[in-house]
Amino acid sequence: MVQRPRRLALFAVLALVLPLAVTGQALADPNNNSPAKLTKAVTLDGVLRHLDAFQSIADTHGDRAAGRPGYRASVDYVVSQLSAAGFSPSVQTFDFPYVEDDSRLVRVSPVPRTFVRDTDFNRHGFDQPVEGTATGVIQPVDVVLPPTPAPNGNSSGCEAADFAGFVPGRVAMLQRGSCGFNVKVLNAQAAGAAAVILFNEGQPGRTGLVTPIGDVTGLTIPVVFATFAAAQELILSTPGALVTVVVDFTEETRQAWNVFAETRDGNANNVVMAGAHLDSVQDGPGINDNGSGSAALLETAVQMRKVKPNAKVRFAWWGAEEEGLLGSEHYVATLPQADRDRIALYLNFDMVGSPNHFYGIYDGDDSSGTAPVPIPPGSAQIEDVFEKFYADRGLPSEDTDFSGRSDYGPFIAVNIPAGGLFTGAEEVKTPAQAALYGGTAGVAFDPCYHQPCDDRSNLNLTALDVNADAIATAVITFAFDTSTVNGVRAPGKSHGRAPQGSAS
């Protein structure tokens, strides 16, 4: 599977100031060359030291999101730690479309409530940007509640006549239906609406958020889109509510960075990559998502610095994952085919300490039959290593969807075998999972997913400790022998696992 191309990829290197002091860093040992030795060296205290630094950065800057100061400080910290350990880290710069959204939907009275952006509502995506603030009484316009059995069963706001009796200065509530969103909002504006709340129609599959898009010439009032549930609450539970609609956002091009470090030793034609995204969402510290994976990977790299593996090991910390896997997409897209062919496999670690955790392994053999994308050959063998790790410790584990949702996605898209770990996000733990792993059924694996409360307290330390060892085990195993994945026989002694069959 893996070809042997002629030269290594070059990374653009950005000189960074290293503002954070390096303290308490354990010295790497050249004998950390087996799972037993490396897992002993990669301690929970070492991982938590990095997480404390990420929390301190978020406390100072508000978050660690790409395009913002907290992310730059996170990059600086990782570079400083790698440099102190003796690596020569490189930093790859890329531009990305930065969006900062401070839009709000607030019920002022009765029963004040601030609705959650990107959960209960979002701002419009019309071609003509419109920002603004309006406060007014809501007035539903020709809405149908409960909704019709079939979609597009109403024409709310589609005709100027729908607004007969509309009181100028109010906030029009318009239901998704038989005409375009642009028609609805322009009719509302012509009727004197101060703002518009569009909402989904209500049939199965038409209840969540949709971003209205299209060309709307002449729009001057703020527009947001709400879920069917949020709209029902406003219309049915608090009819005549006074609301404030705010559309406030910034869109511009900014820079983000990927950080890389490689072992000095190892076959440069047979590269084992391991990565984790370094950025948080905006307005959150991102300690579980994904300080946990970043910190565990960083401590693994620090403790492996003096190891002399058979394969070249390349560690990666990705930027702008929360904006759509942009850092890993950029890396893979700009990597010459010859250098892609050098990568034996990729390991991904995203959220490995969820407070209501399960032990999830990316389903490399698609035994659950849920993968929506082709899985590269060799991924099943990566899954086997993680399954054996948990089994050897007497711990349960289970498949988690190999959907391309995290930074392994760009790798499997170009047929690079991949695998990794995940302890759960917004999905709810089942009673069967609670029986296996402990925790609370009926509660999200991470109740603070993408929220400000994803802080240093939002971790299951047992899960984090176990998964730091799982990360170290997988990295060191493949550092010494990738033959189960790609048939490349390691030269010399294999410390990571027992010898396998001959190379193909």
Active site amino acids: 321
Rounded Cα distance, 395 and 249, in Å = 46
Q: How many CA atoms lie within 13 A of 433 on its CB side?
A: 22
- What lies within 8 Å, CB to CB, of 432 at 6+ separation is none
**31: number of Cβ within 10 Å:** 12
Asked if 411 contacts 274 with a C-beta cutoff of 8 angstroms, the reply is: no
SS3 69: helix
Rounded Cα distance, 388 and 175, in Å = 52
Rounded Cα distance, 446 and 438, in Å = 14
Number of helical H runs and strand E runs in the chain: 13, 18
Rounded Cα distance, 27 and 41, in Å = 9
Q: What is the widest separation between alpha-carbon atoms in the chain?
A: 84
Rounded Cα distance, 305 and 262, in Å = 9
Q: How far is CA 402 from CA 64, 366, 386, 420, 460, in A?
A: 26, 8, 14, 10, 23
Tokens, residue 456: 């240093």
Asked if 234 contacts 242 with a C-beta cutoff of 8 angstroms, the reply is: no
* Helix H or strand E segment including 140: strand 132-140
Asked if 279 contacts 145 with a C-beta cutoff of 8 angstroms, the reply is: no
**CA 199 centroid distance within chain:** 27
Strand partners, 101: 249
Q: How far is CA 180 from CA 131, 195, 299, in A?
A: 21, 17, 52
SS3 223: strand
* Helix H or strand E segment including 108: strand 104-109
**CA 284 centroid distance within chain:** 13
- What lies within 8 Å, CB to CB, of 21 at 6+ separation is none
Selection from 30, 74, 7 nearest residue 335 by Cα: 7
Rounded Cα distance, 461 and 353, in Å = 7
- Torsions phi, psi for 433 (to 5 deg): -70, -40
Full strand arrangement of the beta sheet holding 418-422: 90-101, 249-262, 311-318, 267-277, 343-349, 418-422, 360-362, 398-400
